[in-house]
Structure 1
Amino acid sequence: MKVVGLHIGLLAVLFALQFVLPAYHHGNLARIMVLASYAIGYNILFGYTGLLSLGHALFFAAGMYGMGLGIQHFDLPAAPALIAGVVSAALVSGGLALLALRTTGVAFMIVTLMFAQAGYLTILYFGEWTRGDEGFVIAQSARMIAGIDLSDPTNRYFAALILFSICLVVCLWLIRSPFGKTLIAIRENEERVTMLGYSTFAHKLGAMVVSGTLSGTAGATYGLLFGYAGASFASVQYSIFPLLWVLLGGAGTVLGPFVGTLFMFYLIDLSSGITSAYMLIAGVVLVLLTLFAPQGLMGELRRRFWKGLP
């Protein structure tokens, strides 16, 4: 009950903050919740299954462009376009999983990176449709679901909160289910899980599809809420970001992705207000955290004070 109460408490605080935050932080927190949803998807594969992917930007971009191109070129309403983005991410993650899971370790990492780069170059190559590096703006009139204008700051915040809540609940349910416990066992000792008669390939395939679908849902939602789809979201940078967020917050913890995303977002935001060399400050802080909190912020909390924290 403590675990459930903790997560409900976080959602309640985020709900209440909508009514008290200044406009600047209100917009920031909406963005953080969507990006944290992306990190939650990444954490299922990396934190709980033990598979290090450097290609998750492919799934994020698949969701974003599946949604954005549906609106831009096929005049889909926002809701069907959002569904198209989710389906696109599921198909891409399933296809990549069937290929990448033939490899292990460093080879898996490299394969996911190469496919993500292929996706990025595909976006640039088909610039007539995607507008390449420039990307395209999604018109405000197209960002409506059931008469609700998602470009409105309040509606955008609540939409981001709904997405984050769904991803948080899915992750919490998944890791406490037999399937999730098997994923954790695979992370700890895959050979023993195989000896017990489990199909590790099928479980890793399922984990990758769930991870990619959640990440793609975050990408589609991000494009819809903030009205833009661009090739930069398919670049290596957006594959590294969720890895950093998860490591900072605590890999293999449900709340770690949110804490890591929130911490890094404001670390860069605040340090950029002090100096133009803000990445140097961010880098020093990240090194210190790596040295003194190697399991991440929530990971250290679990290790030191709360052993049962999921």
Structure 2
Amino acid sequence: MSNTKKTLVLHLGLLVVLFALQFVLPAYHHGNLARIMVLAAYAVGYNILFGYTGLLSLGHALFFAAGMYGMGLMINQFGAAPFPALIAGLLAGALVSLALGFLALRTEGVAFMIVTLMFAQAGYLTVLYFGTYTRGDEGFVIQQAERVLWCIDLSDPTNRYFAAFLIFGVSLLLTLRLVQTPFGRVLIAIRENEERARMLGYDVFAHKLAAVVLSGTISAMAGAGYGLLFGYVGASFASVQYSIFPLLWVLLGGAGTVLGPFVGTLFMFYLIDLSSGLTSAYMLIAGVVLVLLTLFAPQGLVGELRNRLWKELP
């Protein structure tokens, strides 16, 4: 079997396992896995920019929140149906990422990181400023009757699980296809040696901008899906914390790997969940484990697997 076929079988196998788990998981873990899949889609979006293009962003909460509020406000303020509201969330994320990318990509390195953080913080403060519509820190609930998509009640646990599965599956397969295309290869070349990519005649700025827009749109899809599936839109999702989370998930799972974002999200979610059941100082336990992983698996869990066992793993 060729390496391409092995790779496809591996990733499709994960999707088959996730599909099958719907029928066997107890209610608690069933709900957790639905949440993890949507958040993993967010991490997948972040991984395109950080893992494959080499751009460290601390402003991805802006895209996640753009998708969430683009969707939520369409329903809450204009009474839109879920589908056009989701499209509005995607468009909001794409436009915001285009604007941010066009401005932030004029900087490099640490300056890029700081600029994205500043834009994200500005977005968070904007949400608070327009509290009349966004309800600020309190946020607002999307009622069950407003979460019916084509006669499918997304508040139902089974429907919610499959919707989360669809969001994650699309983002996963899109990334897998991306890294096999010439465009994806150029992004990796930019990550490895930007000057050499420029010398070879590639438009580095255009490729970076496209990566920012694609990353931001996938993140917005995750944000819109999260708000619709779990019925809540709040300013906490626009905070710095939600810009740090995808970075941690990607680093833990393995930056620049297709499966890394999911593995990192799953690991981090259950690490906090299990340690919080042991002690109120659960973040101390989580911190110690994260430090150990950073020391002994610096490439992330999937990254170490690639280094040690499967060199061609995308």
TM-score interval (norm. to shorter): over 0.9
How far did 1:117 drift?
0.1
Residues 148-197 of structure 1, C-alpha deviations (whole Å, 9 max, x = no match):
00000000000000010000011001111000000000000000000000
1:266 aligns with 2:270: yes
Q: Which runs of 5+ in 1 are unaligned?
A: none
Letter of the 2:289 counterpart: V
Give the one of 282, 289, 299 matched to 1:285: 289
Tell me the equivalent position of 1:71: 75
Pairwise mapping of residues 89-238 of structure 1 onto structure 2 (< 5 A)? Answer: 89-238=93-242
Find 2:54's aligned residue among 50, 53, 65: 50
Separation (CA, whole Å) in 1 of partners of 2:228 and 2:86: 8
Residue 6 of structure 1 is aligned with which of 7, 10, 13? 10
Q: Secondary structure at the match of 1:176?
A: coil
Structure 2 segments unaligned to the other structure (5+ residues): none
Write the distance in 2 (CA, Å) between the matches of 1:235 and 1:243.
Answer: 14
C-alpha distance in structure 1 between counterparts of 2:180 and 2:238, whole Å? 32
CA distance in 1: counterparts of 2:252 and 2:221, whole angstroms: 23
Deviations 1:250-271 (A, max 9, x none): 0000000000000000000000
Letter in 1 for 2:262: F
Equivalent residue of 1:14, what SS?
helix
Count of aligned residue pairs for this structure pair: 310
- Aligned sequence identity (%): 78
What code does the residue aligned with 2:136 have? G
- Equivalent residue in structure 2 for 1:306, among 290, 300, 310: 310
Q: Does 1:247 align with 2:263?
A: no
Amino acid of the residue matched to residue 203 of structure 1?
Answer: H
Rounded to whole Å, the distance in 1 between the matches of 2:88 and 2:234 is 17
Provide the rounded CA distance (Å) in 1 between the counterparts of 2:229 and 2:30. Answer: 14
Name the SS of the counterpart of 1:274 in structure 2. Answer: coil
In 2: Cα distance, 1:165 partner to 1:235 partner: 26
Measured on the aligned residues, the alpha-carbon RMSD in Å equals 0.3
Corresponding residue SS for 2:179: helix
Give the TM-score normalised by structure 1: 1.00
User: Which whole-Å deviations, capped at 9, do the CAs of 1:198-256 have from their partners, x for residues lacking one?
Assistant: 00000000000000000000000000000000000000000000000000000000000
Q: Distance in 1 between matches of 2:312 and 2:179?
A: 13
Q: Give how far 1:282 is off.
A: 0.1
Tell me by how many angstroms 1:141 deviates.
Answer: 0.3
Q: Is structure 2 residue 296 aligned with structure 1 residue 296?
A: no
Q: What is the alpha-carbon distance in structure 2 between the residues aligned to residue 219 and residue 6 of structure 1?
A: 27
| Distance of 1:15 and 1:191 partners within structure 2 | 43
- After TM superposition, the runs of 4+ consecutive aligned structure 1 residues lying more than 2 A away are none
In 1, distance between residues paired with 2:8 and 2:179? 13
**How far off its partner does 1:55 sit?**
0.1
